[in-house]
Chains A and B, each alone.
Chain A
Amino acid sequence: MALRKRIWSSAPYLLLVISVVPIMVGYLWLLINSFSTRTEGLLPVGELTLNNWSFLLETPFGRGYPSIWRVTLNTFLIASFMTITVVLVSSLAGYALSRLNFPGRRQFLSLTLILHAFPSVTLLIGIFFVLRTLSLYNTLIGVGLVMVGFEMPFGIWLMKGFFDNVSWDMERAALIDGASRLQVWWQIIIPTLKPGIAALAIFAFVSGWNAWLVPKTFTIGAGKQATLSVYLQNFQGDTVAVDWGTVTAVGLFQLIPVALFFIFTQDLLLSIYAGGAKGGS
Chain B
Amino acid sequence: MKVKLENLSKRWGKVVGVEGINLDINDGEFVVFLGPSGCGKTTTLLMVAGIYKPSGGIIRFDGRVVNEVGPKDRNIGMVFQSYALYPHMTVMQNISYPLRLMKTPKSEMIERSQRVADMMGIGELMDRRPAFLSGGQQQRVALGRALVKEPELLLFDEPLSNLDARLRLSMRSEIKRLQIDLGITSIYVTHDQVEAMTMADRIAVMKDGQLHAYDTPTEVYDRPRTLFIARFVGNPPMNITEVDVSQTNGAYHASSEGLELVIPADRGEKAAAKGSVMMGIRPEDIMIDSEGIPGEVFGVEPLGRDHLIDVKIGDIHYYLLVDPSLNLKSGDRVKLGFNTKKCQFFDKKTERSLLWN
Contact = CB atoms under 8 A, between A and B. Distances in A.
Interface stretch (B58-66, B81-89, B232-240): B81-89
A11 interface: no
Interface string A25-60: 000000000000000000000000000000000000
A174 B162 contact: no
Interface in A153-211: 167, 169-170, 172-180, 183, 188, 191-192, 194
Nearest to A181: B70
A276 B138 contact: yes
A174 B83 contact: no
A169 B87 contact: no
A278 B134 CA distance: 10
Contact of B84 (A167, A179, A273): A167
Contacts of A104: none
A276 B72 contact: no
A280 B162 CA distance: 8
A170 B135 contact: no
B86 A276 contact: yes
A245 B194 CA distance: 80
B162 A276 contact: no
A176 B78 contact: yes
Interface residues of B, number: 36
Contacts of A277: 82-85, 87
B130 interface: yes
Nearest to A167: B82
A176 B80 CA distance: 11
A99 B245 CA distance: 57
Q: Which of A169, A174, A178 has the most CB of B within 10 A?
A: A178
Nearest to B142: A173
11 contacts: A173-B84, A176-B51, A177-B97, A183-B101, A194-B88, A275-B131, A276-B84, A276-B130, A278-B83, A280-B81, A281-B81
Interface of A: 167, 169-170, 172-180, 183, 188, 191-192, 194, 273-281
Given A173-B84, A175-B50, A276-B87, 7 more contacts: A172-B49, A172-B51, A176-B72, A176-B78, A177-B98, A276-B83, A277-B83
Interface of B: 46, 49-51, 70-72, 74, 76-78, 80-88, 94, 97-98, 101-102, 129-131, 135, 138, 142, 145, 149, 155, 157, 162
